């Protein structure tokens, strides 16, 4: 009589191979997800800064004319004026950026070039609730 099936050794070998593959694959997958999240966050920040740059072009007369002065523009202002067209989500925290506390500082450097520094603050609203 012949038994069909796998021996215990064969099953242990397959399980061992699967364990080794998962030990290699899981950290790589986690790194890929984390890197994608960081890239997405950087893109979201670029959208906000780009909106502020567009705002600055169209509101040049409201900008500081001395290097010691600056102008803050909030995300809420950028959205209401149409420079940012939607709620922006922080992919690392899954929270929307706060409309009042996420803002861009526009100022002149020593060579009279416009510079943009941003402060990014999350709201209490999750991305799925606000979008």
Closest of 80, 82, 93, 86 to residue 121, by C-alpha:
93
Question: Is the pLDDT reported for residue 36 higher than 80?
Answer: yes
Whole-number pLDDT of residue 34 = 85
CA distance 94 to 120: 14
pLDDT digits (tens, 9 = 90+) for 75-110: 999 999 999 988 899 999 999 999 999 999 998 888
| pTM (predicted TM-score) | 0.73
Instruction: Specify the pLDDT at position 130.
Output: 52
> Residues of the chain with pLDDT > 90: what percent?
58
Query: What are the boundaries of each domain within the chain?
Result: 9-130
Give the pair of three-digit tokens for residue 46. 């670029």
Q: Where is pLDDT greater, at 129 or 38?
A: 38
Residue 44 has pLDDT above 90, yes or no: yes
């Amino acid at each position: 009589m012949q038994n069909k099936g796998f021996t215990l050794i064969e099953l242990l070998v397959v399980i061992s191979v699967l364990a080794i593959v998962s030990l290699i694959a899981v950290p790589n997958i986690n790194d890929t997800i984390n890197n994608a999240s960081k890239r997405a966050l950087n893109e979201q920040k670029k959208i906000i800064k780009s909106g502020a740059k567009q705002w600055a072009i169209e509101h040049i007369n409201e900008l500081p004319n001395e290097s010691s002065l600056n102008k803050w523009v909030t995300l809420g202002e950028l959205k209401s004026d149409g420079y940012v067209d939607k709620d922006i989500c922080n992919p690392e925290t899954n929270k929307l950026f706060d409309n009042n506390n996420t803002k861009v500082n526009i100022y002149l450097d020593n060579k009279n070039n416009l510079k943009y520094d941003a402060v990014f603050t999350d709201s209490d609203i999750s991305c799925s609730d606000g979008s």
